[in-house]
């Protein structure tokens, strides 16, 4: 349906039929082919599984859960730690690094330090140095871990997340595993619904395709990812001392670790390793978060094009992504200047703005949530065209701003606690019964 509709629009509605315009059809065909190949690859994804013998070997791996924290809501941080202590495959260490927060974590720290468990709980407090250095403090505290499971302080793991996330490591070539993140507060408002579903669709489309294409996941989510221990320690100096034209790079921690993984082996996606982070609930927080991401993405894109193997799917994906971004921006700029000749183009683009997000949204049927009934889930998925329009009108412009200001590497969020949990008070951890609104 996508191919037939696109051919009709480009040949009939847009009138690209003359010989001198045939090169435009060629460019369009290449673009459509690349996008359709992603969709096809994504549908071929299957979760990694292991044999009994492989499971025994994975059970011997020493796993450290790393939770850097900076001005997180104490209740949310408590929820994240609680989820780690209720895993079907318990980590050997849980390391929380408080990176100079102004929030008071006295009760949370005392509660979990007193909690009896075979899992060793480590709490580190340091002056504010950024997420990279907070993670490094955890890596150095437990240098003998075979696997480091990194997550954000607002990201609670589903009970089987670590067990499922370890399965791809049965393959020695796998250096990192990206989990699947789903917004915990999906139904809070239209912003969390739209951005939560957009993120999920991106993961089940782009990341799934990259994983199937030889293990070429470009971005491991900060919400939950796992890395080989030897990889982390081999790359730690470059990770901490990264500079861009002499400017220390403090942002883009997850994307940096993802790139190191690609340089040393295969980076894959495990859709059954689920985390549930808390998404921004206000417009201000959302836009500032996107600004931070785009500043980091600008630098990381240049690094990928320079260091990744040219023959890899990841390198070609990055190149195509840049082409698609700048081409769409150029077309948008040309529309008002060439009006009314571009009227049919606007019509075709409007159809694509609805059809393509919904086509990608079909992948959403492969996941389900116990707190979401199908009618509600489908209604949320219907917001994907709105999310695409939001990106086109707002977020794309912020990406240009992020490119122009990528030298500004300081945080623009988390100066204070920005998202809190509603509901009853955080319960005592002794009984491990967690009831949240």
When pLDDT is averaged across residues 279-290 and rounded to a whole number, the result is 93
Q: Domain boundaries in the chain?
A: 1-61+146-409
Mean pLDDT, rounded, for 94-114: 94
Question: pLDDT: is 1 or 405 the higher one?
Answer: 405
Residue pair 315/262 in contact by the 8 Å Cβ criterion = no
Band of pLDDT at residue 429, cut at 50, 70 and 90: very low
pLDDT over 90 (residue 331): no
pLDDT at 27: 73
Measured CA to CA in angstroms, residue 63 lies from 144, 149, 153, 379 at distances of 9, 7, 18, 39
**Among 20-29, 322-331, 415-424, which range has the highest average pLDDT?**
322-331
Find where tokens 């971004």 sit.
Answer: 325
> Which of 255, 265, 254, 234 lies closest to 171, judged by CA?
265
Which residues, other chains included, contact 66 with Cβ-Cβ below 8 Å and sequence gap of 6+? 95, 97, 135, 138, 139, 148, 149, 150, 151
Q: What angle do CA 308, 331, 339 make, to 5 degrees?
A: 175
10 Å CB burial of residue 373 (0-12, 13-18, 19+) is exposed
The dihedral of CA 376, 37, 403, 24: what is its sign?
negative
| pLDDT over 80 (residue 306) | yes
Nearest-angstrom CA–CA distance, 79 and 434: 8
Average pLDDT of span 112-123: 95
From CA 429, how far away is CA 108, in angstroms rounded? Answer: 10
Q: What is the pLDDT of residue 373?
A: 83
pLDDT at 231 over 50: yes
| Lowest mean pLDDT across 49-53, 303-307, 321-325 | 321-325
Q: Per-residue pLDDT averaged across 193-207, rounded?
A: 93
pLDDT digits (tens, 9 = 90+) for 399-413: 999 999 998 887 767
pLDDT for the residue numbered 427: 41
Q: How confident is the model at residue 414 (pLDDT cuts 50, 70, 90)?
A: confident
**Of 122-136, 160-174, 304-318, 420-434, the least confident:** 420-434
Average pLDDT along the chain: 88
**Residue 328 in this model has a pLDDT that exceeds 90:** no
Higher pLDDT, 423 or 78: 78
Which pLDDT does position 255 carry in this prediction?
Answer: 93
What pLDDT score does 275 carry? 96
Give CA–CA dist 60/231, Å, rounded: 18
Identify the pLDDT of residue 404: 93
Q: What is the pLDDT of residues 233-265, one digit of tens each?
A: 999 999 999 999 999 999 989 999 999 999 999
Question: In terms of residues, how long is the chain?
Answer: 437
Q: Which residue would you say has higher pLDDT here, 150 or 379?
A: 150
Residues 115-144, mean pLDDT to the nearest whole number: 95
What's the CA gap between 165 and 210, in Å, rounded? 17
Q: Which residues contact 128 (CB under 8 A, 6 or more apart)?
A: 70, 99, 100, 101
Q: In the chain, pLDDT over 90 holds for what percent of residues?
A: 67
Return d(Cα 96, Cα 236) in angstroms, integer: 19
pLDDT band at 127 (very low <50, low <70, confident <90, very high): very high
Higher pLDDT, 35 or 14: 35
Q: Is 11 a residue whose pLDDT tops 80? A: no
pLDDT at 334: 81
**pLDDT per residue as tens digits for the range 17-50:** 455 556 666 777 788 888 889 989 999 999 999 9
At 422 the pLDDT is: 59
Q: What local confidence, expressed as pLDDT, does residue 351 receive?
A: 82
For residue 352, the model assigns a pLDDT of 81
Q: Torsion over CA of 319, 296, 47 and 204, rounded to 10 degrees?
A: -70
Residue range 195-221: mean pLDDT, rounded = 94
**Terminal Cα-to-Cα distance of the chain (whole angstroms):** 43
Sign of the dihedral through C-alpha 365, 369, 372, 373: positive
From residue 187, how far is each of 48, 275, 280, 373 by CA, in Å? 30, 16, 12, 12
Q: How confident is the model at residue 13 (pLDDT cuts 50, 70, 90)?
A: low
SS3 sequence of the chain: CHHHHHHHHHHHHCCCCCHHHHHHHHHHHHHHHHHHHHHHHHHCCCCCCCCHHHHHHHHCCCEEEEEEECCCCHHHHHHHHHHHHCCCCCCCEEEEEEECCCCCCHHHHHHHHCCCCCCEEEEEEECCCCHHHHHHHHHHHCCCCCEEEECCCCCEECCCHHHHHHHHHHCCCEEEEEEEECCCCCCCCHHHHHHHHHHHHHHHHHHHHHHHCCCECCCCCCCCEEEEHHHHHHHHHHHHCCEECCEECCCCHHHHHHHHHHHHCEEEEEEEEEEECCCCCCHHHHHHHHHHHHHHHHHHHHHHHHHCCCCCHHHHHHHHHHHHHHHHHHHHHHHHHCCCCCHHHHHHHHHHHHHHHHHHHHHHHHCCCCCCCHHHHHHHHCCHHHHHHHHHHHHHHHHHHHHHCCCCCCCCCCCCCCCCCCCCCCCCCCCCCCCCC
- Read off the pLDDT of each residue in 148-161 and give the average, rounded to a whole number: 96
């Amino acid at each position: 349906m996508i191919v037939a509709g696109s051919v009709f629009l480009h040949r009939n509605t847009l009138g690209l039929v003359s010989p001198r315009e045939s090169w435009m059809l060629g460019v369009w065909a290449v673009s459509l082919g690349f996008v359709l190949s992603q969709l096809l690859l994504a549908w071929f994804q299957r979760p990694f599984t292991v044999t009994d013998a492989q499971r025994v070997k994975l059970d011997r791996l020493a796993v450290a859960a790393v939770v850097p924290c900076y001005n997180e809501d104490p209740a949310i941080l408590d929820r994240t730690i609680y989820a780690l202590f209720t895993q079907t495959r318990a980590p050997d260490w849980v390391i929380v690094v408080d990176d100079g927060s102004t929030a008071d974590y006295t009760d949370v720290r005392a509660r979990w330090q007193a909690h009896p468990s075979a899992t060793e709980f480590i709490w580190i407090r340091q002056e504010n140095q950024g997420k990279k250095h907070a993670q490094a403090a955890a890596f150095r505290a437990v240098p003998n871990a075979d696997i480091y499971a990194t997550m954000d302080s607002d990201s609670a793991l589903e009970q089987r997340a670590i067990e499922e996330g370890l399965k791809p490591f049965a393959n020695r070539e796998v250096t990192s595993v990206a989990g699947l993140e789903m917004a915990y507060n999906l139904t809070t408002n239209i912003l969390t619904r739209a951005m939560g579903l957009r993120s999920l669709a991106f993961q089940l489309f782009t990341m799934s395709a990259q994983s199937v294409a030889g293990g070429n996941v470009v971005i491991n989510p900060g919400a939950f990812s796992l890395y080989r221990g030897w990889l982390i320690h081999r790359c730690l100096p470059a990770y901490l001392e990264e500079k861009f034209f002499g400017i220390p790079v403090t942002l883009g921690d997850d994307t940096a670790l993802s790139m190191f993984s690609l340089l040393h082996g295969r980076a894959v996606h495990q859709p059954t390793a689920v985390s549930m982070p808390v998404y921004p609930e206000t417009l201000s927080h959302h836009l500032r978060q996107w600004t931070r991401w785009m500043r980091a993405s600008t630098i990381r894109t240049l690094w990928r094009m320079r260091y990744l193997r040219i023959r890899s799917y990841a390198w070609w994906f990055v190149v195509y992504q840049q082409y698609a971004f700048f081409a769409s921006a150029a077309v948008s700029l040309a529309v008002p200047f060439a009006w009314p000749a571009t009227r049919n183009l606007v019509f075709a683009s409007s159809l694509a703005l609805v059809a393509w997000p919904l086509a990608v949204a079909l992948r959403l049927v492969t996941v389900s949530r116990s707190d979401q009934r199908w009618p509600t889930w489908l209604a949320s998925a219907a917001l994907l065209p709105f999310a695409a329009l939001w990106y086109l009108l707002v977020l794309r412009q912020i990406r240009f701003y992020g490119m122009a200001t990528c030298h500004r590497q300081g945080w623009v969020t988390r100066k204070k606690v920005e998202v809190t949990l509603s509901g009853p008070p955080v319960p005592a951890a002794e009984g491990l019964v967690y009831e949240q609104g």
